[in-house]
Amino acid sequence: MKSISPLFSVSTPKSPILIFTPISQRLSSVKFAASPQRKSPSSKSAKTLCTTLTVDPITTRTSTSTSTPPKKVLVPIGFGTEEMEAVILADVLRRAGAEVTVASVEQQLEVEASGGTRLVADTFISACSTQIYDLVALPGGMPGSARLRDCEVLKKITSRQAEEKRLYGAICAAPAVTLLPWGLLKRKQSTCHPAFMDKIPSFRAVKTSTQVSGELTTSRGPGTSFEFAVCLVDQLFGESVAKEIGELLLMNPADDDPKRQEFNEVGWSLDHTPQVLIPVANGSEEIEVVTLIDILRRAKVNVVVASVEKSAQVLASSGTKIVADKLIDATADSIYDLIILPGGTAGAERLHKSKVLKKLLKEQESAGRIFGAICSSPAVLQRQGLIKDKKATAHPAVINNLKDGVNDARVVIDGKLITSQGLATATQFALAIVSKLFGHARARSVAEGLVYQYPRS
């Protein structure tokens, strides 16, 4: 039994290093839009997109062709599933080359997660009952973990997985709320969210951020989701692939890189509940979208997610389907305290082409209100003439396109502009926004709920 140390280091037993098929071939086999076996009550909003998924050249790993079949992974979701955990699991495992199926345990494909994000599953759990998976990975959240627990089909799938010595895992509340009642923690050391640790027998409970015990891997919460996902990549594909994915996700900064730099410091505090707009498009980076929504809503910010497409549902860069709150046209006459652009190469380009968003951003800058971007989207702000003499950062692949790019910080604040590198830095980015709006105490409280180590200084 080996525990995974914090700070994303993976120390599971080394497995054979595999070579993978080209990404175009891998993506063609991923079940991004499986047809449901029965009609869904929300079939209108869960309607399959005809959009072709565009592989993001910035954040996609390079692969070498081989005839090795892809690893099959099941990620089940239900009402109240923790969205960061579900999306990070699916995204990271897909980047590594796995064929990931996100399956709904509900009577419809569209599921509202614990923070209010609306996700659309690839298929129903009933369609997965006869499939053999290399890994079954359960996200947490409440009441999501209880919804998973009460699903008999999922119980049979996961129990068979354990009996046949194939990999299975759970994070946050799911080890205690889902796996424990199923009898799948027996003779296993495990961890979970601190709020549920008292449910696990004390002689088997451990407080490591990620714990591997035979075929079972458990982890603590949204703040450990990247480590959990990369640990699973290590077990499926080997240490070298896990290391490559960690670097691709920007999880391993140099020790001397500050998490945050601030220039021309001004206060952001407001006398009302902050109103935040997050525009999304086909090709937006789902990790960044969902992390921003989840963390800002935890901090009691009013977040509006607006699609720049013709439909509220968008297909994100790694295949996650997200349903926005409204179309961008419905926001044209609204005033927001903060507008934040998520990244993703194709998504950023589509955000740039939105006339309504361009108008909103121009008004935001002219009125001296707060705005920002992450990953490839700071380049959008520059193209629109909105960052001029401001300091900013972006994904390492595009930062040289910025006039005053800051290379050695994960989050950069200059007055009322905030930018970040992307992917794994999205948590720091969102918490920096919370800190500027409400102060360090609120940010630290949110980080504690995430099981994320908030800097003391």
Of 233, 250, 284, 300, nearest in space to 93 by CA: 233
Residue 439: CA count within 13 A, CB half-sphere = 3
Instruction: Kindly state the average pLDDT of the residues 366-387.
Output: 97
Tell me the β-bridge partners of 314. 322
Q: What is the pLDDT of residue 255?
A: 53
| pLDDT tier at 15, thresholds 50, 70, 90 | very low
- Whether 72-249 and 260-450 share one fold: the answer is yes
Q: How far apart are CA 115 and CA 144, in angstroms?
A: 11
50 annotated active-site: no
Q: Is the pLDDT of residue 40 over 60?
A: no
272 included as an active-site residue: no
The mean pLDDT of 1-14, rounded to a whole number, is 37
CATH of 72-249 among 3.40.50.720, 3.40.50.9100, 3.40.50.880, 3.40.190.10: 3.40.50.880
- Which pLDDT belongs to residue 2? 43
Give the CA radius of gyration of the chain: 21
Q: Report whether 234 contacts 15 (CB < 8 A).
A: yes
Confidence of residue 202 (pLDDT cuts 50, 70, 90): confident
pLDDT in the model for residue 256: 52
User: Which stretches of 243-385 are assigned E, i.e. beta strand?
Assistant: 260-263, 275-280, 302-307, 313-315, 321-323, 326-327, 338-341, 370-374
Domain boundaries, the chain: 72-249, 260-450
For 262-277, write each residue's pLDDT tens digit: 999 999 999 999 999 9
pLDDT of 23 over the 50 cut:
no
More confident residue, 457 or 31: 457
Q: Which of 85, 288, 309, 365 is catalytic?
A: 288
Summary mean pLDDT of the chain: 88
Looking at residue 14, what is its pLDDT? 34
The Cα–Cα gap between 392 and 379 comes to: 10
Q: Which of 151, 172, 192, 375 is catalytic?
A: 375
Residue matched to tokens 């989701």:
225
Helices (H), 44-106: 83-96
DSSP characters over 18-45: -----HHHHHHHS-SSPPPSS--TTTTT
Tell me if residue 288 is catalytic. Answer: yes
Q: Which long-range contacts (CB under 8 A, 24 or more apart) does 37-44 make?
A: 37/123, 37/124, 37/126, 37/127, 38/124, 40/107, 40/108, 40/109, 40/110, 41/107, 41/108, 42/108, 42/109, 42/110, 43/108, 43/109
Q: Does the pLDDT value for residue 46 go beyond 50?
A: no
- Is the torsion defined by CA of 426, 429, 435, 440 positive or negative? positive
Q: What is the pLDDT of residues 136-146, one digit of tens each?
A: 999 999 999 99
* Listed residue (373, 282, 287) closest to 52, CA to CA: 282
DSSP code, position 52: P
Q: What is the pLDDT of residues 76-108, one digit of tens each?
A: 999 999 999 999 999 999 999 999 999 999 999
* Model confidence pLDDT, tens digit, residues 398-441: 999 898 899 989 999 999 999 999 999 999 999 999 999 999 99
Topology (CATH level 3) of domain 260-450 = Rossmann fold (3.40.50)
State pLDDT tens for residues 236-246: 999 999 999 99
| DSSP letter (8 states) at residue 176 | I
The pLDDT of residue 238 is 97
Catalytic residue among 151, 192, 285, 395: 395
Write out pLDDT tens, residues 306-362.
999 999 999 999 999 999 999 999 999 999 999 999 999 999 999 999 999 999 999
40 or 147, higher pLDDT:
147
